[in-house]
Structure 1
Amino acid sequence: MGNKNTGKKYNEDFKKMVVDLYNSGNSAKDLSSEYGVSEVTIYTWIKKFSPMETEDGTSITSDEIAKMKKEMLRLQEENENLKKGYGHICEKVKTTELIKVIVDLQDQHDTQTLCGVLGIAKSTFYQSFKKTESNRERENKQLTKRIKEIYRESKMRYGAPKIHNLLEKEGYNVSVKRVQRLMKAAGLFSIVKKKFRPQSSKTKVMERENLLDQDFTTSTINEKWVADITYINTLRDGWCYLASVMDLHSKKIVGYSFGRKMTTDLVISALNNALDTQHTREGLILHSDLGSQYTSEDFQKLCETRKIKQSFSKKGCPYDNACIESFHAILKKEEVNHVTYLDYKTANLAIFQFIEGWYNRKRIHSGLDYKTPQDIEDQTKTA
């Protein structure tokens, strides 16, 4: 079997996905050949991540058992160290000083354990804490707790401005700067990460009519749509492609299609997905770049059949289609650039979760007065 890629590191998701593939019928030998991991390593991962059934019917992995044992030993050791290190000082110092010791050690040890070791009643500790803690400190703790909740709900994608907006909607009276300070103190930062994008084709293209002409204003939904294709890489299947269609009024991704080839069928599928869910009228403008998929005869026929007016960016002018390119940049910065997708299937699921579960329905947009695309669409339909 021989060692492969000695010293190479694999994240937990990669390991678990390999184990999932093994459990779904792939042999360790085939997986070793395909992903460059030794069979010995694969069997180690299988042992680590494959669940075992317990007496009560639940499942647990050997890795989880090892972590539980390690945590139990750590807690036992901490209790012993506490008793040795602090048990003798109770007779020599004042209660206020003991309380300060507990406060200093709260991040490292359980409060009840600290109180027991130092001989301080829990009620005494908490009563003293309430007396010494200022209103500002209490407010900051409450704010930080809620900020962390919002931050986690956004999957680390929201920065201070958006979190501040949500806090204000919930009735908190707080400035953006204060939110920034509390986030910095808590080590919370919005994830923004840029990555290389494959270069576009140098093939000569013929200029076509630009109906949109960088006029992104709208009066209602399904008036102006924009479309584009972006690249997403996977370990197993290489480059895959996402074709998206956005409504300029709501900024909602009304249609999309994810495939292994950048074909006309891909953009036709994305447009059909949008047409299946949206009630369009004659005269809808669909703007795209001059890519061969959008200028193809089949795509033009679909637009003509559905009474859609095609509009095209000028060659070499990305600003003509800035809105959809902005969405794809958000997708990369908030999702794709932070993950290594094993294959098309896992990437497809992640894209679905991002667009449908996050971007359209949960992600607030400053350009939409801190509402979600779905909020705007719903408001327009009921207006």
Structure 2
Amino acid sequence: MTKKNKKYDRIFKENAVKLSYDKSSLKEFAKELGILPCLLTRWRQEYQEFGAGSFHGSGYDRVHPEKKRIFELEKKSKESELRFEILRDASPYLYQGNLIIYQFIKTNEKKYSILKMCSILDVGYGRYHRWRKEGISEKQQKIALLKKDITSIFYNFKKHYGKKKIAKELHSLGYKIVDRRVSFYMKQLGLYRIPKRKYKVTTDSNHGYYTAPNILNREFKVTTPSKVWVSDITHIQITGSFIYLTIIMDLYDRKIIGWSLSSRLSTQKTTLAAWEMAISNRTVANGLIFHSDRGVQYANKAFTKKLDSNKCIRSMSRKGNSLDNAVSESFFNSLKRELIHRKSKLISQKKMKEEIFEFIENWYNKKRIHSTLNYKTIEEFNAINNL
């Protein structure tokens, strides 16, 4: 039978070391204690290095009391570095649910301590091991896949889409899910749509030009193209100054058919420039209603002459009533929420023009789904209606 090694407690070891310095023969003293001389030598070496920090057993840090403060600071620093490293590696998966986190822990078991990962990622150690042993149910797999698709849609559409539009995208993928459930999972995943911000009015209606009555009268639902075009101007802050965006939208499909970006509010650079683009993109129908606010850029002779030559019917919002041109206002809200207000710093006019072009021509007019078009893109809507 193999003889078990005898265990000696900390007090015994410490007393043995202290007494050994008063003995003339280390070998004789070890024999007197009933231990091997090499064992006593090892104890003396440890005590010489760690002092009162010696002999605490396995699982405890050995450190000299005089160096304890430095040791603790170094230990905390290493723990912080490890925590940062784990969070950095896990960051793409943090809001995708526990099942995705479990998979991350499993993949990194050889790199990090399981207990440490569970603690840092706020995952129950026992729950993880149950998952590791038993796997997940079919229902949990479906929920995990749904959450993954919700997250993918949310980021693919640049954090613009709320529960309704994400639900519509999920329907196109074959899911049967209501808005309320999408909202529940978005909150679980920490996905929040970029909030709206207010912006200043740029309309200057203090002029002596004729202002047309509100012919449109908030009838924003249009059944044929080029029946009603609406227009508006907004300001955008850039590095060192402001620029002005003028848009013309066809209410039929909500497409921005004309737009202009300028550093001045002159008619030539705003409304006339946007008009020229609009008529190059879409034919002006007889009796087209052109609706805008009462700003001088729309009321002056140069622009009204252009409308009259194309036999358009002029319509203007009532004074101080932005809801009369709500569709244009809604577009600017989307533009500023989805593009402008996401910027952490101001950018140059050249860069802003590039980004607005990308937003209008490649995003808004092509890829963005619109609730007024029954959650279809403009291109899908026009394809169905053969425009």
Q: State TM-score, norm by structure 2.
A: 0.65
Superposed, 1:236-275 pairs within 5 Å as 236=240, 238-265=241-268, 266-275=270-279
Residue matched to 1:165: 168
Identity %: 33
Instruction: State the shift of 1:231 in Å.
Output: 0.6
| Distance in 1, Cα, partners of 2:340 & 2:101 | 40
| Distance in 1, Cα, partners of 2:321 & 2:101 | 58
1:134 corresponds to which of 137, 159, 162: 137
Cα deviations by residue, 1:339-377 (Å, 9 ceiling, x for unpaired): 233221111111111111211111111221101123223
Cα deviations by residue, 1:149-172 (Å, 9 ceiling, x for unpaired): 111111010111111111112111
Residue matched to 2:290: 286
Residue matched to 2:67: none
Instruction: State the shift of 1:132 in Å.
Output: 3.1
Mapped pair 1:155 → 2:158: yes
Asked if the contact 1:208–1:314 (Cα under 8 Å) also holds between the matched residues in 2, the reply is no
Asked if the contact 2:204–2:294 (Cα under 8 Å) also holds between the matched residues in 1, the reply is no
Residue matched to 2:323: 319
| Distance in 1, Cα, partners of 2:230 & 2:100 | 56
Superposed, 1:1-383 pairs within 5 Å as 107=104, 110-111=107-108, 113=110, 129=132, 131-197=134-200, 200-201=203-204, 203=206, 206-236=210-240, 238-265=241-268, 266-339=270-343, 340-382=345-387
| Distance in 2, Cα, partners of 1:104 & 1:262 | 53
Please tell me the root mean square deviation across aligned C-alpha atoms, in Å: 3.2
Instruction: State the shift of 1:277 in Å.
Output: 0.9
Instruction: State the shift of 1:226 in Å.
Output: 0.3
| Distance in 1, Cα, partners of 2:307 & 2:137 | 65
Letter in 2 for 1:149: S
Instruction: State the shift of 1:283 in Å.
Output: 1.3
Asked if the contact 2:159–2:193 (Cα under 8 Å) also holds between the matched residues in 1, the reply is yes
| Distance in 1, Cα, partners of 2:164 & 2:381 | 20
3-state secondary structure, aligned to 1:381: coil
Instruction: State the shift of 1:130 in Å.
Output: 8.2
| Distance in 2, Cα, partners of 1:106 & 1:379 | 43
Letter in 2 for 1:234: I
Instruction: State the shift of 1:103 in Å.
Output: 9.0
Residue matched to 1:7: none
Asked if the contact 2:202–2:234 (Cα under 8 Å) also holds between the matched residues in 1, the reply is no
Report the count of equivalent residues.
281
Change (3 A) 1:142 1:105: closer
Mark the runs of 5 or more structure 2 residues left unpaired by the alignment: 1-77, 87-98, 116-127
| Distance in 1, Cα, partners of 2:107 & 2:228 | 58
Change (3 A) 1:177 1:134: farther
Instruction: State the shift of 1:234 in Å.
Output: 0.4
Instruction: State the shift of 1:105 in Å.
Output: 6.8
Asked if the contact 1:207–1:314 (Cα under 8 Å) also holds between the matched residues in 2, the reply is no
Change (3 A) 1:104 1:360: closer
Residue matched to 1:18: none
Letter in 2 for 1:235: T
3-state secondary structure, aligned to 1:113: coil
| Distance in 2, Cα, partners of 1:130 & 1:369 | 46
Change (3 A) 1:172 1:204: same
Letter in 2 for 1:228: D
3-state secondary structure, aligned to 1:244: strand
Change (3 A) 1:130 1:312: farther
Asked if the contact 1:241–1:259 (Cα under 8 Å) also holds between the matched residues in 2, the reply is yes
Mark the runs of 5 or more structure 1 residues left unpaired by the alignment: 1-73, 83-101, 119-124
| Distance in 2, Cα, partners of 1:117 & 1:156 | 33
Instruction: State the shift of 1:104 in Å.
Output: 7.2
Which structure has the greater CA radius of gyration? 2
Change (3 A) 1:267 1:202: closer
Change (3 A) 1:278 1:200: closer
Using the TM superposition, name which of 195-204 and 306-315 deviates more.
Answer: 195-204
